[in-house]
Amino acid sequence: MEYKVIHDPAFSVLVFSLDKGEKIVAEKGAMMYMSDTLEVTTKGRKGGKMRGVQTSILGRESYFVNTFTAKDGDGEVGFVGPSFGDIQAIDLSLGSMILQKGSYLANTDQVLLDTKWQGLKGYLSERNLVMLHASGKGTIWVNAFGGIVKKVLGKGENLKVDTGYLVGWDDTMEYTIERIGNMKSTILSGEGIITKVTGPGRVFMQTRRYANLIRSIRSNLGKRVA
**Residue 57: inside a domain:** yes
User: What is the domain-level CATH number for residue 199?
Assistant: 3.60.160.10
Backbone φ, ψ for residue 145 (5° rounding): -90, 105
**Residue 16: inside a domain:** yes
**Residue 222: inside a domain:** no
**Residue 48: inside a domain:** yes
**Residue 145: inside a domain:** yes
Number of domains in the chain: 1
82 or 40, which is more confident: 40
Question: Percentage of residues in the chain with pLDDT exceeding 90?
Answer: 56
**Residue 10: inside a domain:** yes
Question: Percentage of residues in the chain with pLDDT exceeding 70?
Answer: 74
Write down the pLDDT at residue 34. 98
Write down the pLDDT at residue 118. 60
User: Whole domain around residue 194: which residue ranges?
Assistant: 2-209
One-letter-per-residue 3-state SS of 126-149:
CCCCEEEEEEECCEEEEECCECEE
**Residue 218: inside a domain:** no
Instruction: Report how far residue 90's alpha carbon sits from residue 107's, in angstroms, rounded to the nearest whole number.
Output: 9
Write down the pLDDT at residue 47. 47
Write down the pLDDT at residue 52. 42
Task: Report DSSP letters for 79-112, one per residue.
Answer: E--SSSB-EEEEEGGG--EEE-TT-EEEE-TTEE
Write down the pLDDT at residue 170. 96
Write down the pLDDT at residue 226. 55
Sheet holding 64-70, edge to edge: 38-44, 64-70, 23-27, 104-107, 139-143, 87-91
| Predicted confidence band of residue 221 (pLDDT cuts 50, 70, 90) | confident
**Residue 130: inside a domain:** yes
Interacting residues of 135 by C-beta distance below 8 A, sequence separation 6+: 92, 96, 97, 111, 112, 114, 171
Number of C-alpha atoms within 13 angstroms, CB side, residue 86? 15
| Predicted confidence band of residue 140 (pLDDT cuts 50, 70, 90) | very high
Write down the pLDDT at residue 65. 87
Contact 167, 209 (CB under 8 A): no
